Structure formats: C-alpha cells, structure tokens
Amino acid sequence: MEKAKNVEEYIATQRAALTSNPECGVTHYNLGVALLGQKKYSEAEGSFQDALENSPTLAEAYVQLGGICLNRGDLEGCLQYNQMAVKSRAGFSEGYGNIGFAQLQLGNIDEAIWALEKAIRWNPSFLQAYTTLANAYIMKGMVEESIETSLKVIELEPSFPVAYNNLAIAYMEKGEFALAIDNADKAVEMGYDVASEILEELEAHR
C-alpha cells in the first residue's frame, strides 16, 4: 500500500477503508489517532468508541480515551478507561502506568503504588512509571525506595532529568544535602525546571 503523503490523505484513506469494511476496529483506531494528532478530540473520541464496539479487547483504544479525559481534566474518567484497558488485556503495562498516575493525582497513594509496581513488573523499562513511582514513594515517606527507583531510571536512561530532580528531593528528605545539591544541579543542567523552593533551600547548604 502506498504511504500517505500527509495526515489529511491518511485520514481520507482510513475513511475509505471503513466504507468497505466498517467493522474493522483497527481502522477506526488508526483514524482516531490521526484525528487526535489534529486535536479533533470529539471526533477522535467517536472513532475510539467505534473501535471498541468492533474490537472490545483493543486496550490501546481505552488508553487513548483515558488520555482524552485527562486532556479535559477528568481524572476519574481517565482512571476508569485505563481500568477497562487492563481488564481487556492482562499485563498491559501502559494501562497500569496511567492508573498509577491518575490515582496519585487523586491522592490515592497506596493504590498508585500498587498500579505502578505492577506496570514496571510487566515492563521493566517503563521510565515514566518508575518516575511516578519514585514520587509516590516520597509522598508515602518511603525515601529509600524512592532513591532506589530513581537510580534504576538513571541506570536505564542517564539523561532523564526528572529522575535527578526526584533524587534531589529524596536526599533532602534524608538531610543528605551534598547529594541533593549534586542531583538538583544535574537536573538543571539537563534543562529541567527544578522548583524554586527546592533550589532556595539547597542554596543555604552550598
């Protein structure tokens, strides 16, 4: 099949394919992703719903619907769609990662930790899940676990600035200010916007 020259052509191709095969969930899904790329959220939402109507186990469509909810500020909706995603496909790490993120935003720290630990069990290279988990551990007062998790991120991706920021916060909690300064400086060097109150507190220990 000839590659589409642009998004409009790609969308037209997907719509044409659906005319001849309206029950293809994957085509509905592909159309939804393209519409999402154009920020046509309600049209994309309809396509993902159509995708699930025809392919109820298409976990990625639930995740996309959750993302649309998140874009609207609807954390509960995001959580519900991602819960549906992991029900439709066992071991779906992205769904568990998103559940963890939503639960943490909703203040449900234990539920967040449970989901995020599950996400990295299914995908041991899931950087975003590790960094969210490091935050959750800090909020739970599990400082050592947070440090261990951030160090794992750096082992996987040494240029991931959020991990250095999380380490700075964790070392501050332990009163290990030299290590906190070192990690905060690395985060700043990598272009991360470290919170001004953290930098101010560390300034007193330089």
Q: From CA 139, how far away is CA 128, in angstroms rounded?
A: 17
Amino acid at position 61, single letter: A
Give me 176's structure tokens. 């290990």
Backbone φ, ψ for residue 47 (5° rounding): -65, -40
**CA-closest candidate to residue 169, choices 184, 159, 187, 186:** 184
CATH architecture designation of domain 125-206? Alpha Horseshoe (1.25)
- The pLDDT of residue 1 is 43
Angle at 180 between CA 177 and CA 182, to 5 degrees: 110
Q: List the pLDDT tens digit at each of the 206 positions of the chain.
A: 445 568 888 999 999 999 999 999 999 999 999 999 999 999 999 999 999 999 999 999 999 999 999 999 999 999 999 999 999 998 999 999 999 999 999 999 999 999 999 999 999 999 999 999 999 999 999 999 999 999 999 999 999 999 999 999 999 999 999 999 999 999 999 999 999 999 999 998 88
- The pLDDT of residue 6 is 85
**Cβ-Cβ contacts under 8 Å for 93 (sequence gap 6 or more):** 118, 119, 120, 122, 123, 126, 129
Give me 141's structure tokens. 């007062």
Phi-psi region of 157 (alpha: psi -120 to 50; beta: other; left: phi over 0): beta
Determine what percent of the chain falls in helix, strand and coil, rounding each to the nearest 5: 75, 0, 25
Long-range contacts of 4-11 (CB under 8 A, 24+ apart): 7/34, 7/37, 7/38, 10/34, 11/35
Q: Decide: 177 and 202 in contact? Cβ < 8 Å.
A: yes
**Calculated CA dihedral for residues 38, 41, 46, 51, nearest 10 degrees:** 60
- The pLDDT of residue 206 is 87
Amino acid at position 122, single letter: W
> Using one digit for the tens of pLDDT, what is the confidence trace for 130-172?
999 999 999 999 999 999 999 999 999 999 999 999 999 999 9
pTM (2 d.p.): 0.89
Cα-trace Rg, the chain? 20
- The pLDDT of residue 2 is 45
